[in-house]
Structure 1
Amino acid sequence: MPDPIKRIELKDGTVRYRFVVDVGRDPETGKRKQVTHTFDGKKEAKTEYARIRHETDRGTYVRPSKMTVDQFLDEWLTSATRDVEEATAANYRHALLPVRAQLGGRLLQSLAEGDIERLVDWMLTEGRRRGGKPGSGLSARSARLTLGRLRTALNVAVRRQLVVRNVAQFVTIPRAAAKAALAAKADRTPWTEAEVKTFLAGIADERLYAVCLLSLMGLRPAEVCGLRWSDVDFDAGTLAAGDNTRTLVDGRVVEKTAKSAAGRRGLPMPAAVTTALKAFKTRQASEKLRAGEAYQRTGYVLVDEIGEPQRPDWLRRRVYELMARAGVRKVRLYDARHACLTYLATQGVTDVVLAAWAGHADGGTLAKRVYVHPDLTHLQQAAKVLDAGLFAGNSTAVREGV
């Protein structure tokens, strides 16, 4: 077998050693791929030739590339977001923004584990660019999400033989940051029963009273914003939660149904909610008469005085104002849902009914998931519990048309 290492003499008399070796075929075109290497000494050339042949035979050879991190992430995102919802695709893009900011211009093959560790430290100390004070640290949750997306992307890079190994594989969030995040989460508690009642009493005459009750009966903010009057059946005393949601994606409103079948659920309305929604609908009819042609007949429950449907960020700001007005502790709007589900759980509502009420696919143990099928009759238990306790005395608190 001829020696694959060729002696090359340049015009100036300098001697080099060169080899050309097959490294497989291009997975897209099927064409044979070859690499050429030139060295000053024959020993170096032989060593590199042997390494490449060994890795090629094992299927682990990585061809040198000038692809940058940004270029790879563009390629990966195109593939990873082909069959996901628009909001999910936006979450992928946003999670990788810190990677692009710190490492985007680097060669993909130049990344080392230390680079990823420094990226995590930067995110936790000064990585915030939006959603707060620029230059402050991101939460451990945000850093963990970014790290998770990067790991997934680099796994694909390894599979496509763009890099030798996943340098993010064993990088973790520093223990101190993780403990601080757990402590902060423990401090974030939903309202107690007394706080819920104080809030409801303080906003009984407010225009958004019925909307707040929807959150406090366990609907997600996106479900509240997407609820239409056609989803509310006053005769049956039910509403269709999750059939339509309104979420924000890159500043735009995106409408969709809930992700899972469990998320699209019919819920029996507590009497307090029914009364409040009837009053709110009557009020909207009066607003429609006053606005005349300017009124937008969109059919949504949550609209302003001229019928314009509202976004989750608008709802969040308005509810925070109502919290301040009622003199109650400020909590996230999503925690109103937590308050409801916590109350139902502590009042003895079964796990499987609680999961069905919340719109979760997992109802508890395998036996419950397989053999128990909650229907509207089962869910009436949750409505009765809310009326008897959390919403006690509020079914007649709202005057028709107020």
Structure 2
Amino acid sequence: MTVSASAASPPPSPDPDVPAGVTAGVAVFDRSTGRFTELLDEERQFRSASVVKLLLALDVLWDLGPDHRVPAEDQARLEAMLRSSDDGEASHYWSQRGGSRIIERMAARLGLTGTAPPPATHPGFWGYTALTASDTVRIYRYLLDRAPAPVRDVVMGSLRRSTRCANDGYDQYFGIPSAFTGPWAVKQGWSGFASGGCTADGEAPAPAAPASVHGARPHGASTAGRPPAAVDGGGVDLAGGALHSTGTVGPDDRSIVAVLTLHPDGTPYGTAYSRLTRLVDSLDVPGARRPSGVRFATLGSGVRVRAGATTDSAVVTTLPAGVEVLVTCQKRGQPITVAARSSDWWAHVPQYGGYLTNVLVDTPEDRLPDIPVC
């Protein structure tokens, strides 16, 4: 279904809905028509955070023999790096394969025009690689249209099975996974935020992570504190909160989506998570299916989604503080009181696969307005 295209046509849809204070680079490419449906500052450079792991993986896979057989050790490392955004595996490859030379090799191989290694002041910080939305689309187009099938299967197969909880304790289902019901495949990136920890049904619990610079430190360096301001970042912001959602959406990977964002210093992770999701939801993404429901903000930290409308029900996941949830219906369950708030109503949040007490939903009433009974 792929149609080759070398140039972009003007996007037919209105400008993306970028929240106030957020800086965004956006590119959405429709592989069916060979045209971009969205373009916004697509050549602006952002620090890549963990999106650069796509290039690390491709560099490893580039050197395989004619049969493209992946050694078992590399298969396990690549899956952890791509599915659960494991920083240790990325640092392993960065150290073993020449650091910044990886970026130089892959930029030349894929014709990337806005991708550059980390600045000389931060040579071991692979997440400080400069990347644009346009180049991100080029990476996915290579994977889908030109890469050998075994390479495509390893990378895209891992991205289709991305875990909700990354290995550093961050919920990585913002943007594409929250805005669309699928099918999708994603590689996300984040840097400069604090996480309250993440658990998901069927996944091992990931620990709470303080002020992480995910994708921005050499292996073994402390993850505490905010990322240091760059002495020479080459014009790329290395200090603010970066949150990126990239991947494919729709049957047969119809649309390639690249949304790179920077958020004002001090923005909570849940707030940035929700703002990015709303931005992605506003885009013209051919082939996408959007879930029904109404979005509500949540209150507090460590908010748990449960399999049923009682505190005895299993915990399905723990939400980032203040994140928005999509509610489809509500039902009565166990009465809950938190501080001065009480309610026996529970909201059904299908994207998280469970129920959330209305006491922890940001609404003045114990029953959510305009939400039907389950």
| Greater per-residue helix proportion | 1
| Greater per-residue strand proportion | 2
Range of TM-score over shorter length: under 0.3
TM-score with structure 2 length normalisation? 0.25
- Greater radius of gyration (CA): 1
User: Of the two structures, which has the highest relative contact order with CA contacts closer than 8 Å and spacing of 6 or more?
Assistant: 2
